[in-house]
Chains A and B, each alone.
Chain A
Amino acid sequence: MAFSRTQPTVAIHRPPDPVATMILLPIVAGAAVAIALGVYGRLHEPTGIAINIAGFSGAQAVKAWLTTGAFLLAGIQLVSALAMWGKLPGPPWVPTLHRWSGRFAVLLTVPVLVHCLYALGYQSATPRVLVHSLLGCFFFGAFTTKMLLLTRRGLPRWVVPLIGGVVFSALVALWLTSSLWFFTTVGVTL
């Protein structure tokens, strides 16, 4: 049900696995992912080329639309999360909706990630590009952290909503610095 994920009875009294460690390890893992992506993007010589998807005018258009898809699914994520935590009324299948919309959202971003890092690399030429590069690495690190945190039992109530909000915010900012920029400068084209 909606509250199956919340564990108000925090296991602070258990010394072998204190809450701090439970939270810290996923954060360290996520940070490692973010740094690894950034280092790869910086060191790897961008090829300038990557596979393209038929029907689109170019890789940028593909990425803009994939990110837009993830962005829309992220809206579902936000609403369904609010329902899961009782802030909104929702049907019993809301947790399932949340999980699967999240999975599809992140899977949509993977081709974008691969193209960005493989073909373009980490760049800092303009503020938009710099922010986008940083956020892109941060997003996948934060996502890793959230997935790992979800496997932990007995987290404080605020942990999952916080990391979920971080992931959501990062994705929105990524969309703003890429897709919205693309649609407003190049045009809303396929």
Chain B
Amino acid sequence: MAEISRVDSPRRSSRANRSNRGPVITLLAVVALAVVLVGLNVTTTAQTAAPSPAAAPAATEAPSALALPPPPEPQQAPPPAPEQAPPAAPEQTAPPAAPEQAPPAAPQQITYAGRTSGNEATIAIAVRDDQVAAYLCDGRQVESWLEGTIADGRLAVQGARDASATGVVEGNAIFGTVSVNGEQWPYSAQLASAPAGLYQGSATANGVSNRIGWIVLQDGSQVGIVNRNGIRKPAPLLDPKALTDLTVDGSRLEPQRVAGDTKVVGGPPA
């Protein structure tokens, strides 16, 4: 036992010698487990990243693929509010406020839904062919609508007030960085099947415009914000299956599923 020769004590038993080596073995076990896990990660992520050469997107660059100029979006001091508002949904029918564009033949419409890495916000990315509409929302005060394109597995979207997001498609998910209100968050979003996805609704009554965005995650949970002339608060609960009309502050609006080519930047499309 080499370690005994250091500062040994006469009372050291052989059992104590064993325990003396134990910590080193523990350390080595920790290192070994870490190496194995890193190895697994490297191999699995390398496989899923096969289509695109770069694993991670550049954080800031967001090549503008927008035809729309980002119009001013009112945005100031939203009141702090609780996580989710109770549902408010009298069953009524109203003329659609935001008719979706006629879908082209056999479009490739998919939606990704996920969260930022620190769970600061949820994000949903709707893709139709190469057109992208995305929405970032924390369910309280922070939201941003984004539009852009996806090409060669690389996503670039932009919104009002320099909001932007980039991402790389890896398998069934998009990984990237979203910038909003001067903050940058890494995010990941997985392919989501309906009713999970991205929804919006808008209505204007008495000069007050209400616009709501909802993100429904794959597990059924949802996050939404109602933007009432720039004042944001949690959105009423959406029924993503029935898409029944909602009444918000007296104006009725019809929730709709957002597709990749839906115009979302620049306020309500109605």
Using a CB–CB cutoff of 8 Å, the interface residues on chain A facing chain B are 4-5, 7, 9, 11, 14, 17, 22, 45-51, 57-58, 60, 95, 99, 102-103, 106-107, 110-111, 113-115, 118-120, 123, 125-126, 129, 143-144, 146-148, 150-154, 182, 185-186
Contact = CB atoms under 8 A, between A and B. Distances in A.
Nearest to B118: A129
A69 to B, nearest CB: 15
A114 B119 contact: no
Given A5-B19, A47-B175, 12 more contacts: A45-B56, A47-B41, A48-B56, A48-B117, A48-B175, A48-B187, A49-B188, A50-B41, A95-B19, A125-B184, A150-B22, A153-B4
Contacts of A115: 41
Contact of A118 (B16, B41, B183, B186): B41
Contact of A151 (B21, B33, B117, B185): B21
B13 to A, nearest CB: 7
A45 B55 CA distance: 9
Given A49-B48, A119-B117, A153 B30 contact: no
A147 B26 contact: yes
B118 A125 contact: yes
Contacts of B15: 4
Contact of B9 (A17, A48, A153): A153
B203 to A, nearest CB: 31
B34 interface: yes
Given A48-B187, A99-B22, A150-B20, A9 B9 contact: yes
Given A47-B56, A51-B44, A120-B117, A152 B7 contact: yes
A78 B117 CA distance: 32
15 contacts: A4-B13, A7-B9, A48-B175, A49-B45, A50-B45, A58-B115, A60-B119, A95-B19, A99-B22, A102-B26, A118-B41, A120-B186, A123-B117, A148-B27, A154-B9
Nearest to A186: B119
Interface string B1-26: 00110111100110110011111101
Interface in B27-41: 27, 29-30, 33-34, 37-38, 40-41
A40 to B, nearest CB: 10
**B13, B37, B170 interface centre (most CB from chain A within 10 Å):** B37
A153 B118 contact: no
Contacts of B41: 47, 50-51, 114-115, 118-119
Interface in B142-201: 170, 173, 175-176, 183-188
B188 A114 contact: no
A106 B26 contact: yes
Contact of B7 (A46, A51, A103, A153): A153
B6 A152 contact: yes
Nearest to B37: A114
B23 A150 contact: yes
